[in-house]
Amino acid sequence: MAKKITKELTKRQETMLKALEVTGHNITQACKKVGIKRETHYYWLHNSDVYKKADEDIQESLLDFAETMLMKKIKDGDTTSLIFFLKTKGKRRGYSERPDVEVNIESKKIDKIQVEFIE
């Protein structure tokens, strides 16, 4: 069965997107507010590029908000927030407790991989 892609939002989809904004993208709460099943939300994500993009925009907006709040805490002198920021955003400068490991595998079949870190 071919995937049907819709080009515009329905009123119910618009209502769901507003509910996702209000609930901080809590899908269960948003679905309850709108009166739909979670499966409906996932169906819309799969079948509507417009709905999917709007959903992604909501999630990005929440990340922007969280980053703004984190920066406020850092400016206020919160040491825990500063350490968190350096461990996540400062990895390339060496602020990390464990190394990132990059593995390139050319073979299509992998039986077993064992990695050991020796200190």
Q: Pick from 62, 52, 51: which is nearest to 13 by CA? A: 51
Query: Across all residues in the chain, what is the average pLDDT?
Result: 87
Residue 90 has, within 13 A of its CA and on its CB side, a CA count of: 11
Determine, yes or no, domain membership for 1. Answer: no
Determine, yes or no, domain membership for 100. Answer: no
In whole angstroms, what is the distance from residue 6 CA to residue 32 CA?
A: 24
Determine, yes or no, domain membership for 69. Answer: yes
Task: Please indicate whether residue 100 or residue 47 has the higher confidence score (pLDDT).
Answer: 47
Determine, yes or no, domain membership for 16. Answer: yes
Determine, yes or no, domain membership for 24. Answer: yes
Residue numbers of the domain that contains 47: 11-93
Query: The whole model's pTM is what?
Result: 0.70
pLDDT > 80? residue 4 = no
Q: How confident is the model at residue 93 (pLDDT cuts 50, 70, 90)?
A: confident
Residues 23-80 pLDDT 10s:
999 999 999 999 999 999 999 999 999 999 999 999 999 999 999 999 999 999 999 9
- Number of domains composing the chain: 1
- For residue 6, list its beta bridge partners: 48
- Taken as a whole, the chain contains a residue count of 119
